Structure formats: C-alpha cells, structure tokens
Structure 1
Amino acid sequence: MVQSRSSPAVSIQLTPMQIPEALPVAGLAFANAENIDVAGRSLLLHPGHPSEMIVQVQNLEQRPLRVSLSVEGNFPSQWCQIGTEGSEIPPRGQMDAVLYFSIPDTFFEDQEAISPGKKDKLTLNFRSLITLHIDPGTDNEQIERSEYFDLYIRPYTAYMEFLPILYREVDFIGRFMKIFEQAFQPIVNSYNVMWANLDPLTAPQALLPFMAHWVAWQVDSVWDLQQQRRLIRRAVELYRWRGTRKGLRLYLHLYTGLPLDEHLPNEADKHISITEPFGPSFIIGDAQLGNAVLAGGQPYHFIVRLRSNISSGIINEELIQRIIEQEKPAFCTYELSIENPSN
C-alpha cells in the first residue's frame, strides 16, 4: 500500500451547505487570507439542526477506480453519517457523497457542558478531513486526503437576522444575542398564543370562571370541564335563542354531545327531536268542555325525545329536565323521552 503519488488520482472538492458568517476571531475584516479560505469550506452546526457537507470526488485517470470514503476528526464519530452513490468511479467520472452531521440538541445542557468542576472549556470548534482509499484491499491501494475543514458548533438564534451584516461577522455576537433570546423569547411566545387564552375551548382552567363572568354564565360543578368550555363559548348564542326550539336544541346538544342533525328534514328522525303533538281535528260530540282545541292537540305543549348512542354515554334525565325548565317559556308544558343505550 502506498500513501499518495505526486500526481493525485482523484480530486476532492468540499461544499458546505451552511457556511458560518463569522469566524472565531474578532471579525472577517481582521482575518487573514488563510482563515477566509478555511471558512469557505467550513460547516456551521446548530444543536438539534442537521447540516450537510457535499463531497465531490473526480476521477483523474483513464481507468475506473474503486474507492472507500471515511471521515477523520476530533469530534464524536456518531455525529457524522456518510451517504454515497456507490463505490466505483468511471474513467474521468465523478462520484458525489454527502456527510450528514447531527449534533444532539442537548449539547449545551449536558453534564459535560455545565459541570462546575470541569476545568477545560467546552469545545466548540472541531477540525476534520476526508480520507479516500483507492482500490482498497489490493497491492495498489492508495490513500488520498482532502484539505482540512472546520466544524463550528454554535447555538441557533433568530435575533441575528435583525442585526446588520457587520455584527453578524463577529462570532461572539451570536452567542451573546442567544442570552437575550433565551430570556425574552418565552414572553414573545406567550403573546403569539394570547388568542388561546381568550378562547374558552383552549384557555387554562383557572381562567374559566373569569371568562364565565364576562358572559354572565353561572358555572355549575354538575358540568364536566369540556361541557363548561362549550357552554361558556356559546353562552351569548344561548341567550339569543332562549325560549325557542333552536335554543333548547342547541343547549341539549352542548350538554349531551348528540348531533343537531340539521340536514334531516323530518323532526322525528333527529337525535334531539322537539315536536308539538297535534291530534285529530275538532269533532262535534267528542269534545269536552275545557280541552277542546280547534284542529286538535294540546296547547303550549311539546315533546322532547333524545336518542342517545354508545359514544355519548348515559344521559342524566334529571339534568335534562333542569335544562328544559330553564329554557322553555313558563306557560309551556312538556314530555321527556330518553333512549339510553342500556334501555
């Protein structure tokens, strides 16, 4: 096995997918040409965010080459995975490979980073290179190596996008701004979801009594949490339709969870049906004084029929009667029929 000839058999080109804007020096303006050249093939890594390095291997010879690619560096090997198109390059052909880097999202929070007894600083910069074995396992095996490239591990901060490019070129600024982001971002996030605190369906349970007071709704321990949320959210609508068939049906729907079945034209087919009974028309000889009604039926009387199902569970008849008494006009009478799954 030989290391490498004077005229290399391959050309290795590195293309980072995320180039750092700042070098670990004061700024690009004060960096020398060598550092700028290294930055062009260096890779920026954020914990918890994958990044890639593209490796292009060009065959400079007139014969096909079998190759094996590996990565060497002073970083943990599990951070890098290699993806290749194959193991053979045709004459004057090219093979592309991808280095997939993934840093644990707890990189800055693990015990090695925050240990109070640790004397050495946490390593943020690593150096690596590509080692290419040509015709591995044969007497003509050769080894070619790429130029060194650096890996810079930095915390991700969106605040850098608001700074002029001059400040982005300073490596320290990014880590400094991360302190403010961690301090203020939870407050910013709370404003972004403020709407959820004003919706009874998503508001914290501690806010429900306050929201019920807004709409003058009496909170009752009889209702479970989800029923209270639905009732508070639609309290104003219930007030608007109180004393009507639509209002009573809506109230019963919010409590039982039974569908409204508004698409069904026949009232008797609905899960929550509210009908007014009408008997035969007025017939001479059959009418009795005090209950004779033109066209038959019982005045100011209606029938509530609930057809439950297994998913909605058992319906509390006493609570249903309480709802009807509260929502119906005072002069009306009613009948209640409940079909529970156990019946």
Structure 2
Amino acid sequence: MQRPARFFSFNKPSDWEAGSSANLTVREDGVTVSRTEKYSLYRIVHAADIDGADAVADFAVGPGSKLYVLDARASLWVHDYENRHSEPLYSPGHRLFSHRALLASRGDALYIADPVGERRVFSVSPSNGQLLWAAQEWNGLELFPLATAADAGRNLYTVVPLDCEVGPLGHPEVPQGGRIVILQWSPSGEVTQLYEHDSLRLEQPCAVHALRGRFYVTAAEPGSPVLLDAATGTTIAFRPDGAARAAFGLAPEAGKPAGLSTGGGGVLYIGDSSPGNARDERFILQYTMQGELTAKVSGYRERADKLLHDDRGRMYVLDAEQGAIALLELQSRVNASAETGLPEGWYWSGELDSAEDETEWHKIELLADIPEETQLRVSYFATDETFGVLGGRVVDYSDYFADPDVPNERKWRESAHLWSEPIVNPKDALLPNAKGRYLRLRIEWVGSDRTAPTIRRMRVFFPRQSPIVHLPSIYQEDPDGTRFLERFLALFGSFLAEMEEKIDKVSSNFDADAVAGRYLSWLGGWLALDVADGWEEHKLRTLLKRAPELYKLRGTRQGLARMLHLYTGVEPYIVEHHQLKTMQETSELRLMFQRLYGDDPYTFCVMLPPECVRTDKQRLMVERIIEDQKPAYAEGKLVVLQPWMHADMHTYLGINTVLSEPTLLTLDEQSSMPHHTVLIDVDRDKRIDIHTRLELDSELE
C-alpha cells in the first residue's frame, strides 16, 4: 500500500522568502523578474510635421502637448503634437529675434534669449505673442545669453559672460579669466540672484559667438540651477543662496556632452552630440546630484543637442543634425540583471526536508504565466547530507546558496555537477533520480525586454507515487520498462489527482466569501433573482449571505426596504395608500395627493435620492428589485427625489428640503441683500412655486 502523498507549497511571499533570490520581485500574486521604468521612444516631431516650418533650430515645452518651435527662418510655431495642429506665433520677417535665439518655457510663460537681437532677454505671452518685459543689459553690462532654462516657479535662468570686451576685430569677446555666471530673473523681469563658481572662468580669451553650445543650464527646483560646461565636462549644482551644492566631472562614457535636464527626484540627464557614425557608443547618461553615474538611457541612441522634461516626466530631445524632436516616455520594462545585463532572475530554494533518508521525490507542479519568448528553467538535486565540497572547500549548502557575497554565476559554476538538467517551462514534471532527504531547487526566469514569466504557485510532491503499483507484478520486473511505464502512467496520475483535488474543494464553490467575478454572479443566479449581473461584488456577496433572511420577508414592506438599502446604500422612503387615506378626505388636498401618489389602494411609491439612480442601468435595477419584492397584487412606482423645492411636488422637509435661520445674501465684499427680499420674474410676481429650484436658481440656508 502506497503512503499518502505530501507536498511543499510555495504559495505566499513567506514561502519564497525561505530561499534566496536575485533580481526577483515577490508579491502576493506571484514571483517574477523585477521591473523598472525606462525611457522609450514615444514620438518624433519633424519640421515637416509643422506646416510651413523650416529646419528646427530650438524648442521649448509648453502646457499639455504643446511645443514652441523656432525654425531656421526665425519663425516661432506653437505645435500640438497630439492633435497634429500648428499655428505661427511669429511669422517670418518679424525682426523681433534671430534664428540664434534660445527658448525656455514653464506654464503660461515663454522666454526668449537672443545674443544678437535688439532685445537680449524678454518674455512674451504664448497666447498672442504680446511682449511682457525685455532687458538689453544688466548693471550696465550688455547681455550675451549663452543658455537658458525656466523652473516651476516661472523663474528664468540665463548663462551670460560677466566680463566682456571688444576684441581686435570689433566683436565682443571674453578675456582670459573672464567669468561665466547664471542670472536668475523673476517672472516680472527682475534679476533676483547671481550664481558663480571659480571653475567657471575661461582659461584663454574666447569670442562670445564661439561660446554658443558650450554651456547648458537646467533648474532642479526653484532657485537651484545646475550648469554644465561641455568643454571641460564640469557640472555644478547651486543652492538658492548662490553657493555651490556640488561640482563634479563627467564619466568617460559622456562622449561629447550636450544638453542638460532634470527629471523627477532631482536626477540629472546629460546628452551626447557625437557625430552620427558614433551611434553605438552614444547614450543619454543619468547622474545623481552628487555626480554618480547611475544609468544609461538605452531607448534613445541618436544625437542629443538639447534635453527638456515636462511635468509628466516625459523627456524631449533635440537632434539638431536631423532637425527632429524626439519624445521619450517612461514605460515599465523588465529589469536587467546586474551580473549579466540580461532580463533574467534566479531563485535558490532552502532545503526541503522530507524527514526521511533516501526519500524518492515525485514531481513538481507549477501554476505559471509564461509569455512567448520567455522561459522558466528548473534544476534540482537531492542528498542526504547538508554539507558538501564546492570550490575546493567544505561548505554548508544552506549557508552557501544563501550567501549574498557569493555571485550567482560563481554559485552556478561551482555547484554545476550537483544539479540536474534544467526542466524548461514545466507545469507538471517528474523529478527523476531525485533521491535523498533534502531537495534543493534552482529556478531561472528568462524574460524579454517587456515581459517575463510569473510563478503564481509551486508544489513539490514526495514520496514517489506511481499507478504502476496497481498493475500486475510482471509490469514491474523489467527496470528499463518500469521507468518508461512510470513516466507514461504519471500523466494519468496527474489527471486523476487534479480531479480528486477539485472534488475535495468543490464545497468552496458555494461559499460567497471564497468566490469572485463570474463565479459570484453564477452563485447569485441560484437566488432566482434576475439581478445578479447588475450588483457590485461586495453587495452581491452580502446579498448571498442574507438571502435566507430576505426570502422570509419577500413581499413585505420590510423586505423591499432591506433589499433596496442593500443595493443603494440608503434607506428608501415607501409611501402606501393607507398612510394618506385620512389626508385625502380633505377636498383641498385630494387632487394633489392623487397626482403625487395615485388613488389606487394597491399602489405604493418608493422614493430615493438622485445619487442612488444616476444611470439608466441603476434605475432599471431598482425597478426590477421593486417588481421582484412587491406583493403579487400590488404595483410599485419609483420616484426619484430632486434637490429643489417646488410646491405641490415631491418636496419633503428634512429629506430633500432644508429650512434654516434667515441670513443675508452676500453679493460681494461691499454688497448684501436682506432675507426678506423677493426675486421675481416679469409676469410671475410673488409665485414661489414657479421658477424656484433649490441649488439651481435659489438656495435655503
């Protein structure tokens, strides 16, 4: 007689935490490779997408999906890339600024800085192009803006040379030791702060026009700009008081740095404007504010001459060589392993102890989602010992595989002789040659860039169970034949075991707390109520639990009220004919009560507030409940109460009408209206039951 099968279950996070993992995320719904958010290409805006525009020279990000695009003819366009609509803000020939101008924007503020224009720094309205303020010089110094950016507080930052003189050819130049500074401008056009650093001094004289494209600025937060000197690879982050917070050089991978922007969490992004033939080595690099290189944006490998971020976290990249603006969006991706750089993860189980030496382990069952182009690989080994020789030394297996200081690649290499051949994508697989008290599992998740397998449940069965024991002994005499027959019959054994498990658990299908979704609706159909599909799950679950009690009250006022309260969440008002009989004897009220409630003694009204019957589906469901729960000889009418007061209509004090102490009606800070004032329409004088709708054109407090 076979011993009953037992199994180890990996079903909850605590079950998986007994082992060790790498690059995996353990959740209640399963175990999968960790994910991260990476920038991926969302859209590319070319000059051809803007009807009438020339090559793109610069751009800024506006609200929503708007871009402000400056072209080679100095035209300025407002382009909505989602709706593919463009409008010129400044047409060619306006002469307000040149094609060398620099753009910056935040919110409803658009700034233009032109090193060769009549107005060097100015702000315009992006809705109509109206000039708001302009500056040609500061503290008597002529301005030559080299870079510009705006922050969330609508402050403008411009990089300018502070020491300029006229060169031999009559052109402005910065002398040796000349200072490069950042000026902060308020939204009204006043300089409120100056940022400078000793490293921002030129080592040799340089013409101002030759400094174009060397400096880049961004604002991590209001008052805290960051400046990049692409020629020296120096990046400086400033505090609001003007002092330097951090200064660092770029990593060797920086290539030809160009473009600087700040993403969420104060992360810096620096682009690469290396020539087109260097595409394979070109990345947008991600740094912390302390200068640590943390990642490479692999979703974009083209030239980057300018970087910007919007409030939604999207990154915008200008490729001046192609005249295109690329939009990069954060998307969920499978995280790459730090050891291999591939989207994969590993799990090493703790020892599964059968408590008996020479146990023959039976099989493994996996409930897993395995998308196309992904794999799960399961290897195992069984032993009666807890110690072994790995890497030329005696180790405790549990300590060795759980040691985070031993790289996974080394663990696999040193213990390769112990493990079985991997079982690929197993759902129900035998464990041949797994004999020993302790069993260990090694599972490898192999994913793609976007998807990875997820193990929702795993079971490891022992001891070996085989239907062959029920066959005549002749089928067990040949060892080779026996092994084949065991594998063949294992398939039928799995079918039978699965069937028996379903039979054992069939009672849970009738438990309202144990089922959900379509199974709960199916169970609701057992109530002989044609309402189950229209109920929310938690309400339907409560209905199922209270069904015996409600069936006893079916056809009564109390039963109808409880059903409606269960569905709507509010107590309904039910008015029956006998409640109005005395009042209907008064001739003045008879007609009004007949209009409101009818004169049929077998008719009743159910009144509910409007928030309970917002949609036609809800109204239909309430009417079906009334029809199902009412007595067979009666008729129920649904009345949806409205939040206004109208005499002779359904107006009920304390229900949909409120009276309070008279107060003044305040029109503005200087005017008010006494409580006894009456507002009327022409030809409707002093008739409160006409054109008086609570919360629409009147209010009682």
TM-score after normalising by structure 2: 0.21
Q: Which has the higher strand share?
A: 2
Bigger RCO of structures 1 and 2 (CA < 8 A, at least 6 apart): 1
TM-score after normalising by structure 1: 0.37
Q: Which has the higher helix share?
A: 1
